[in-house]
Chain A
Amino acid sequence: MAHDIEIIEKTPAEFEYKKRRSDRLMRSQLMMFALMIFMTLISFAAVQAGFSAYFVIPVVLLLAAVQVGLQLYYFMHMSEKGHGLVAFFMYGGVLLAFLTVLAFVTIIWW
């Protein structure tokens, strides 16, 4: 099954480069995590503050959408190369999800 894999020993310079690159990725992921915590706090605070529902609902939905984007692209690596088919599956799923929710909240009225 795995006959096409050859083991390539990295030179010290290559190894150092790989380590630095993964450290950089880790730092950016940590920053995204801080951002997600911050957005969660804003969402909860906006609801607790008791603003009008017409203001709060769009804001918390927008923050949720951004947070999910960060999860997908930074934590689940969809921003990296080789994720074309992945994007196709996920956007296909999201499109169907959107249509389903739209149909249920507009057509069903009881």
Chain B
Amino acid sequence: MDLNTKFTPQSWPDHPETATMEAKNKFVGFWLFLGGETVLFATLFATYLALKNSVPDGNEFRTETLFELPLVFVMTMLLLTSSLTSVYAMYHMKNYNFKAMQLWLAITGFLGLGFLALEVYEFYHYIHLGFTYGNSAFSSAFYTLVGTHGLHVAIGLVWLTLLILRNAKRGLNLYNATKYYTFSLYWHFIDVVWVFIFTVVYLMGVVG
């Protein structure tokens, strides 16, 4: 069977993301990658927790005084909502509704872009205050952890844009269904990491 075969909603398989051997391999391989990503972020979280508030004498930048929760709250809501919109996109993917899937993915992308813009603003604000990467062990650990997550969001946005544009004329088939599906897994994983960042870094930081 040619991978570019056209389907109808009636003939579209129940699990298009694992319908071919190639798709099954990508599915398993991508989850293995996510398991590895879990360990990557664990090392960064561990470093952050070990070095939290480790600042030289006379350095006033500590979690209690630096972080502002309203901004973090808005960022959390944006990313959490973008997780839901990518669920909507996968709902339409399973129903072979290509246009609706693309639309919901585009909305996901804009929400992610909003999140990233706020994060850039936040870092800019901190650096303006003097809380730079080399300010203290705490600042380096903070920027590395939160920045690596931000980098993941940025990579996800590039990936999403390429997916949407590259398949715009092709439509949905068994070749790209799994590509869309793995993107949605990646996006949910980014949200999973953020849940721990807003809890461990910001909420626990404000509490002290």
Contact = CB atoms under 8 A, between A and B. Distances in A.
B46 A29 contact: no
Contacts of B13: 5, 8
B136 interface: no
A71 B83 contact: yes
Interface size class of B (residues with CB under 8 A): 35 or more
B18 to A, nearest CB: 7
Q: Most chain-A Cβ atoms within 10 A of its Cβ — which of B2, B47, B203? A: B203
Contacts of B94: 22
A75 B35 contact: no
Given A44-B203, A93-B38, A100-B43, A22 B192 contact: no
A37 B20 contact: no
Contacts of A93: 34-39, 42
A85 B34 CA distance: 12
A19 B5 CA distance: 22
Nearest to B15: A82
Give the interface SS of chain B, mostly helix, strand, loop or mixed: helix
B28 interface: yes
A101 B46 contact: yes
Contacts of B7: 7
Interface in A6-52: 6-10, 15, 18-19, 22, 25-26, 29-30, 33, 36-37, 40, 43-44, 47-48
B54 A110 contact: yes
B20 A2 contact: yes
Contact of B188 (A7, A75, A89): A75
Given A71-B188, A93-B35, A37 B50 contact: no
A37 B80 contact: yes
B19 A5 contact: yes
Interface in A34-90: 36-37, 40, 43-44, 47-48, 53, 56-57, 60-61, 63-64, 67-68, 71-72, 75-76, 82, 85-86, 89-90
17 contacts: A1-B21, A26-B87, A29-B84, A43-B203, A47-B206, A56-B207, A60-B204, A61-B200, A67-B195, A71-B192, A75-B83, A75-B188, A85-B31, A89-B34, A92-B35, A104-B46, A104-B47
Interface of B: 1-3, 5, 7-11, 13-15, 18-22, 28, 31-32, 34-39, 41-43, 45-47, 49-50, 54, 69, 73, 76-77, 80, 83-84, 87-88, 91, 94-95, 174, 185, 188-189, 191-192, 195-196, 198-200, 203-204, 206-208
Interface of A: 1-10, 15, 18-19, 22, 25-26, 29-30, 33, 36-37, 40, 43-44, 47-48, 53, 56-57, 60-61, 63-64, 67-68, 71-72, 75-76, 82, 85-86, 89-90, 92-94, 96-98, 100-101, 103-105, 108, 110
